[in-house]
Structures are given as C-alpha cells and as structure tokens.
A and B are shown apart, each in its own frame.
Chain A
Amino acid sequence: MIGTHFSGLDWVIVVTYLAATMGTGLYGRRFVGGIADFLVAGRELGLYLAVATLAATEIGTITFMYYAELGYKTGYASFVNGLIAGLVMIFLGRTGFIVKRLREMRLMTVPEFFQVKFSRNLRVFVGILVATGGILNMGVFLRIEGTFLAIISGISLSHIKAAMTAILLLELVYTVLGGMVSIVITDFIQFIALSIGTILVTIWSVHSAGISRMYEAVRHNMGAGGFNPFSNPNYGWSYVAFQVLLMLAVHTCWQTTAMRTFSTRSPEVSKRLFSWAGFIFLGRGMMPMMWGIAALAMFGPAQNSLEAMPRMLTAILPSGILGLVVAGMLAATMSVNSSYLLGWSSIIAQDIILPLRKRPLTSLQQVMLNRGANLFVSLFVMVWGLWYTLPGPTYFYLNMTATIYLSGTLVAVVAGLFWNRASTLGGYMAMAGGAIATIAFFFFKTPASYAGAGAFGLAAIGMLVGSFVAPRKQPALQVAPGA
C-alpha cells in the first residue's frame, strides 16, 4: 500500500463520474441506425463537438504518463515534442493540406482510401498493418494507466488489474452499443473533466515544486541538454525531422484522429477543427511535461521515470482535489480507450473481413460485425497489457508501433491525392518499406529517430520506384463507393 490522501470523498466523486458516463454512453445507442452512424456519427459533428471529441480521444492517462516521463528525463527540451505536435496541426488546419481532401472523399476508415485510389487488395494489406500497429500501440495502455491509478489511489497493482479490466468492460459496453455516437457524447463530458484535471494539476505542481527550483533541477541534472533539444542526445535534427513527419502522419492518417475528420459536418469544419485543436495539442504536450519536471525538482532523478509524476501527485494533492483529478484521469482513460477500441476494430471489420467476403453485408450486419471486432480487440488488449514489458521510454515505443504503418500510409495518401502517377505497386512498396525500417527499431535496437526517419525515407523511395516500374493505368476514384 502506498501513502496517499485518497479518501471516501474521492471515491464518491469517482464512482459518481463513472455512473454518469455509463448513463450518457448508453443514451447514444438509440441514434445508431446504420454503419455510418456507428463509425462516423452520421457525419454530423459541428466544430466545437469535434474539438472536444478529438481532444478527449488523443489526451489520455497514457498521454500524461509518457509526456511527464519525457519531462522528467529530458527537461524543458522535451517541449519540442509538444510544440511540433501543435504547430503541425495548426498548419494542417490553416492550409487544409490532406485533411480537407480526405473529408471530401466521404471515407469511414483510413485503409478505405487505398481501395478508392489503388486497389482492394492493397486496402486489405494496409488494413492488416494498421490493425497490427494500432492494437500493439493500444496494448500497453492498460498497464500504464493501471500503474498511474495504483500509485495515486493507493490500491495494490493486483487489485488495479481487476479495476482496469472492469473499466475496459464499461467502455466496451457503450462502445459496442452506441459506437461513435456514444463515444462523442461521453467524449464531451470527458473532455471537460480531463481539462479541469489537467489545469488543476498543472497549477498545483508548478506551485508546489516552485518555478526556480524546477529550473535548477533541470540545469543541475541535465545541463544544456535539458533546455536545448539540439544538444540533448535523445533529440537532435534527425529526431525533429522524424517528429514533423510523424505528426503530419498522426494528425492525418491515425485512424482515431482520421475518424474525427471523417465525422465532421463538412470539409470546411474539418479544416477549422485542426486549427482549433492545434492549440489544445500544444497544451496537451507541454503541461504534463511540466508535471514531470516538477517531479524531478521534488524527488530528484533517482525515481522510476514513469512513476515519478503520479508519486508527486499523491504527495501534493489534498483529498477532494485528488478525487477530481482521478475522475479527470479516468475520463481521459475511458475516452481514449473507447475511441481506440472502435478505431482498430473498425479496421478489422471494414478493411480486412468485409473486402475478403464474396457477398456484401447490409449496413446493420456491418454494425454487428464491428461489435464482434470490438470484443476481439478488448480481449487482445487485456491479455497483451498484462504481460508485455516495454523496451524503453513509453513515448518511443508508441511512436514506433505507430510508425509501422504511418510512414507508408502518409506517403501513399499524399501520393494518392496529389500525384497522378502513384500506382498500386508504389503503394505496396511504400507500406512495406515503412514497416521494414520500423521493425529494425524492435529487433536491432536502432535509435528511434534514425529508424523513424528511415521509415519515412524508405516509404517514399518505395512509392517512387513502384510507381515508375508499374505506373497507374486508369484514373483513380474521387469518392468512396457507396458513400
């Protein structure tokens, strides 16, 4: 048992929050009439609701944990990650680059793009890569979120495993029944709760650690590398280049983010969504990194880097506030997990199983198939989350599992949208090149920045070579069939 101020009042706050989330989540199922409602909420999202659901989906306890870990290990230099994530998103919003055209195509999943522009078989191939990378990525969420809750609530890790399983089941119930509609409704509540938690924790941690003590802690432990990302061995120019490409890919081709693009009311709303959410993404990165730096100032560098931030919270937050923060973190956890569950299972159902079937399914049969895939992904995540051990900092693991498919996908999407010669062989070679370079990170321990930048480079070469060897013969479609 770990010392914490978590009291009966905090439990009441948390349980009330969970009950309210379940109730609103279940309310969404009455609006699901077909597959477009289930996967893209009938394309009815207005700007502010889209901002709430995108932010709630991409801000989870896992996000706080890995960004705080980066702050703890690499000081203020870690802010470069938050800055790139936010600026790239604002750039996409201001220009509409990629996102506007993707929205105009009326897609429901990212691999569907590959059938429209290239071929059905390539869609299946991409679907397999996307589902593998995405589910491996999500696979570590439960363990890390459980670690956070165990430390902050004082419950032992063995009991937390049961609690995390119960939370996953709660998310599963409303995701299976209401799909994207339920997720959007709960995301709205979760966005408010997690934002309040984020702001409270930021104020509390900076106030408790002291701004000058934080500066001194970074200077003393890291020197210039704690401030200047170009003199920090974890970062440098190749890392910055990799991050710009990765964020470009994440914001446009990451299934859970792309589903928000596809769900907006119009291409114009999708553009504005990115302009607004870009500012949220600046804070999404920098605020938890500041918590990590505060933990460094309070405890020194000898802590377990992943656990330092939650340990600091238990030390500084009083009862009542701790309950609000845990409710906020649970909100973050549930919104991310439910969206990811829907995102990856939709790929399995829509992009792997459906294209391989001889007879098409009706819209309602597709909803049932997606519900089955929801169950499968939940089971996998539960098992994987219990036994897999991370090979290094969480952030780099998540980056690389995403890069397995994002490098090739970004290259193929840009080529498919803006280059008439881009061909199916080019698409295959781009996807294979990106995946092979990324796998080097896991098997040969290549540094993340080199493996990541190499993945995008190989994907681009693959696309060029494939398209010149076997150029496209017919013009591609402009809109998803049956949209």
Chain B
Amino acid sequence: MPIQYYIYLCLTLFCIGIIGVLTRRNAIIVFMCVELMLNAVNLLLVAFSKMHYLAAPGTEGANSTVGTDGQLFVFFIMVVAAAEVSVGLAIIVMMYRNTHSVDINFLNRLKN
C-alpha cells in the first residue's frame, strides 16, 4: 500500500485536532484534542517504520530489525503522554477548584 494513504490519514487526524484546539473552549476537550494529535503522529511513525523495513536491503531475512527504532519511539511517546496527562489533569482540577469552571477564557491572564 502506498505511504501516501497513511500520510493523508494522519494529516487529517492532526488537523482535526488543531481545529479542536482552536475552536473549543472547554479545557478538557482541548486537552483531548492534543491527545488526538499525538496519536496521529504515533500512527505515522509506525507507518514510516514499516516503510523503512520494506525499503531496507536484505529484509528477506526473518530476523531483520530495520525499523524497530520507530516503534520504540512510539512506545516512549505513549509513556510521556501518560505522564503528561496525569500532570495536566491535576492542573485542570486545580483550575476548576479556583475558578469553578473549566473554561479557558479564565486563563487569558495567568495572574490572579
């Protein structure tokens, strides 16, 4: 299958995430759209790792490990995303405690 199909799919998902970040006001939904963008990038990394696996010379051997790095990067991105979500949701809960709302309009200045 051509690589372009996966590139177009991931670009579409990424841009849907961008539109969500730009248009929604709920902080939790903005955060979810960031997760969507991260997942689009993960999918593209896996697709490129399979592309390199196919393109590398000598892939006929069953124990070729070309392209393993890309999939391990995806694994590390997932790990970092899990840590990021825990801290980000704690910040959102703290913001809700202070302002009784999750609207990001209240965050237009960080002071007070």
> A and B: partners?
no
Which residues of A does B touch, CB under 8 Å? none
Q: Which residues of B contact A (CB under 8 A)?
A: none
